């Protein structure tokens, strides 16, 4: 796993405002709250909010992944135990050096192996998050939704390389592509950004005139996001490599799409099962009946047995949403609601009065009252 030197210098838990031992679900909850608050779409033109959003996304990229989080905690503990933590006072542990530089030199020699500090890996782009809203039916059946993003994107002129077309991009000969050079400081060898390439690890013969060698420009791009059938409200879809491009031709971050599903007029959702409140008349519940029940793909007949009480649930198999894990469909759970009319015709009232006279046993007798 590639580990950034930033891990030693930044407390991602503090960035998200959560304690170290917090659960993954609490990490996600804190991230989503902050991401909504500082999202560029909610703060147009606010550079400070944009930078805060990038910082939050970077922290969640690590803490939101259990494996990355474990590596992050281990590296931070190593730094704190061996060197007194990142900078402070007269230097970590009184040595007057940056432990991030030390770790970068110790582990970066493997050429990208081990912990992967340095090793020629160019910085990864920032992860982005956006939100889409779809109809209930689209959540059940699946759909494809266009998403527009405004911000950094790969330069169209150079394809994100940062080099003018026909120009060459070479590995920096001074640092060997690591972006760092070692400076001997007595016992220690401390890594510093390479002065020849500015830490990019590359040398461009002729930088692109459009992006000035960064490989990125700001523009609006439209992506088509495939939403799988059976997706639920709040689901998070990851599109690898569709976030912001990395600087100096580095790999792009990921795009996370949060799906919001609008409620339906009468269907509800419980996992892969759909729910429905079905009104029936008193005669239908008392005498039994075959009634039509709507489903997402056409009505079906449902047998209501005689004496059905209000609140009883019937299961119509295979008429729910597609199961996200495994195969097949969920079921439709139909809850019977006996409808009591608020207004009666003359004939209806007379018929009910005759029924009341004929029905002499009170249901309240079980409670010890008449």
Residue with the two structure tokens 């009170």: 362
Q: Which uninterrupted H or E stretch holds 128? A: strand 128-134
Read off the tokens for 69: 């989080």
- Find out whether 333 and 276 touch, Cβ atoms under 8 Å: yes
The string of pLDDT tens digits covering residues 229-284 is 999 999 999 998 888 887 766 788 899 999 999 999 999 999 899 999 999 999 99
Other beta carbons less than 10 A from residue 367's beta carbon: 8
Alpha-carbon distance 78 to 62, whole Å? 17
Alpha-carbon distance 75 to 255, whole Å? 27
Q: Which CATH architecture has domain 267-367?
A: Sandwich (2.60)
Alpha-carbon distance 127 to 129, whole Å? 7
Short-list 217, 216, 218, 235, CA closest to 226: 235
Are β-strands 255-261 and 128-134 bridged in parallel, bridged antiparallel, or unpaired? Answer: parallel
Q: Which pLDDT score is estimated for 122?
A: 60
Q: Which pLDDT score is estimated for 252?
A: 84
Cβ contacts of 186 within 8 Å, gap of 6 or more: none
DSSP-assigned letter for residue 140:
H
CATH code linked to domain 1-117: 1.10.287.110
Q: Which pLDDT score is estimated for 189?
A: 55
- Find out whether 4 and 121 touch, Cβ atoms under 8 Å: no
In the chain, domain spans: 1-117, 267-367
Buried b (16+ CB within 10 A) or exposed e, 13-29: bebbebeeeeeeeebee
Q: Which pLDDT score is estimated for 324?
A: 75
| Average pLDDT score over the chain | 80
- Sign of the CA dihedral running 307, 310, 315, 319: positive
Short-list 43, 96, 103, CA closest to 75: 103
Cβ contacts of 350 within 8 Å, gap of 6 or more: none
Task: Determine the longest span between alpha carbons in the chain, in angstroms.
Answer: 106
Read off the tokens for 268: 């509800």
Other beta carbons less than 10 A from residue 195's beta carbon: 10
Read off the tokens for 263: 């409620």
The string of pLDDT tens digits covering residues 105-125 is 444 433 333 333 334 456 678
Q: Which pLDDT score is estimated for 355?
A: 85
Specify the pTM: 0.57
Give 82 or 175, the one with higher predicted confidence: 175
Read off the tokens for 51: 């930078």
CB neighbour class for 366 (10 Å; exposed up to 12, middle 13-18, buried from 19):
exposed
The string of pLDDT tens digits covering residues 176-190 is 777 777 766 554 556
Q: Which uninterrupted H or E stretch holds 271? A: none
Residue with the two structure tokens 């081990």: 114
The string of pLDDT tens digits covering residues 59-103 is 898 999 888 898 888 877 776 654 444 444 444 343 334 444 444
3-class secondary-structure state, position 359: coil
- Find out whether 324 and 266 touch, Cβ atoms under 8 Å: no
Q: Which residues does residue 130 pair with via DSSP β-bridges, in sequence order?
A: 257
């Amino acid at each position: 796993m590639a580990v950034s030197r930033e891990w030693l210098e930044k407390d991602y838990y503090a960035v998200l405002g959560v304690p170290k031992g917090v659960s993954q679900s609490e990490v996600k909850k804190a991230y989503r709250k902050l991401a909504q608050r500082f999202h560029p779409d909610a703060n147009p033109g606010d550079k400070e909010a944009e930078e805060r959003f990038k910082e939050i996304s970077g922290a969640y990229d690590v803490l939101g992944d259990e494996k990355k989080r474990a590596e992050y905690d281990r590296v931070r503990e190593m730094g704190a135990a061996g060197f007194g933590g990142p900078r402070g006072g007269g230097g970590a542990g009184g040595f007057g050096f940056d432990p991030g530089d030390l770790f970068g030199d110790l582990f970066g020699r493997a050429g990208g192996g081990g912990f992967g500090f340095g090793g020629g890996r160019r910085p990864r782009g920032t992860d982005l998050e956006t939100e889409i809203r779809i109809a209930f039916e689209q959540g059940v059946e699946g759909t494809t939704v266009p998403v527009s993003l405004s911000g950094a994107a790969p330069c169209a002129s150079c394809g994100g390389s940062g080099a003018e077309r026909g120009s060459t991009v070479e590995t920096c000969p001074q640092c060997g592509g690591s972006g760092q050079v070692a400076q001997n400081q007595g016992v220690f060898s401390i890594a510093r950004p390479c002065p020849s390439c500015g830490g990019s690890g590359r040398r461009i013969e002729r930088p692109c005139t459009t992006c000035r060698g960064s490989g990125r420009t700001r523009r609006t791009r439209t992506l088509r996001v495939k939403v799988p059938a059976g997706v639920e409200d709040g689901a998070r879809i990851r599109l690898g490599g569709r976030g912001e491009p990395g600087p100096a031709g580095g790999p792009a971050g990921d795009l996370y799409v949060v799906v919001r599903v609008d409620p339906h007029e009468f269907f509800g959702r419980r996992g892969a099962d759909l729910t429905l409140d079905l009104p029936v008349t008193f005669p239908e519940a008392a005498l039994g009946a075959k009634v039509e029940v709507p489903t997402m793909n056409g009505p079906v007949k449902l047998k209501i047995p005689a004496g059905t009480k209000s609140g009883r649930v019937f299961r119509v198999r295979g008429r729910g949403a597609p199961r996200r894990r495994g195969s097949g469909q969920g079921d439709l759970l139909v809850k019977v609601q006996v409808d009591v009319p608020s207004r009666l015709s003359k004939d209806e009232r007379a018929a009910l009065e005759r029924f009341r006279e004929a029905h002499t046993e009170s249901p309240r007798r079980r409670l010890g009252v008449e």
